[in-house]
Amino acid sequence: MPTGVPIRDAKQQLFAAAERVLLRDGLNGLTSRAVTTEAGVAKGLMHRRFADFDAFLAELVLDRIARVEEQTRVLLASAGQGTVVEHLTDALVELFSPMAVSVLGLIIARPGLRNRLREAGTARIPLLGEGTEMIRAYLAAEQRQGRLPGEADVGTMAPMLTGAVHLLCTEQVATPDSAEVSKIVRAAVPIGSATGSNAA
């Protein structure tokens, strides 16, 4: 693509290209040249918009975190409706999509990226931390609705759930199996002792 030609939504175009490269070629294949080639844009575009490749990747992760924040709003709005198990299962399957798991691997593999994300004020483990907080906030909302026991420790249950599902995904390249995730939810969350016919 000729230099100087304006590109609509260039940042999102680069993000989408980076995600495709990461899923297809893995961590070692993710380079600035691979991203611009995949996006079909001039190599200088990334250098004009970002200080370096870690700065670009930090913006990519922050974009993923923003999606989790939107998912949190939707999940919290569902509290008191439907079933707790279904809501948690759906949320965890979405949270640990193949792309999200790949991004988590990227964060772990690049110290420079982790430093940039800490400077941006992200959770201790970016993306995973925000996802765990989403689950905790939802469990607390259902607890206030009386659909989880008042004595249930939602602060402990949330990392148990995200940790178990993340571990499930480390050996998979596909979307986590809903039945397996549901089994984890039922094992970790005391649905049976909650009041309300729709809790389970």
Q: What is the pLDDT of residue 198?
A: 56
Q: What is the pLDDT of residue 123?
A: 78
Q: Cα dihedral sign for 41, 44, 48, 53?
A: positive
Q: Cα dihedral sign for 22, 26, 28, 33?
A: negative
Using alpha carbons, list the distances in angstroms from residue 61 to 113, 126, 158, 198. 9, 8, 21, 35
d(CA 138, CA 79): 7
Encode the chain (200 residues) as per-residue pLDDT tens digits: 344 444 558 899 999 999 999 999 999 999 999 999 999 999 888 988 899 999 999 999 999 999 999 999 999 999 999 999 999 999 999 999 999 999 999 999 999 999 999 999 987 889 999 999 999 999 999 999 999 999 999 999 999 999 999 999 876 667 889 999 999 999 999 875 444 445 66
pTM of the entire predicted model: 0.88
Domains of the chain by range and CATH? 8-49 (1.10.10.60), 53-191 (1.10.357)
Q: Tokens standing for 172?
A: 């998979």
Q: What is the pLDDT of residue 47?
A: 87
Q: Tokens standing for 15?
A: 């993000």
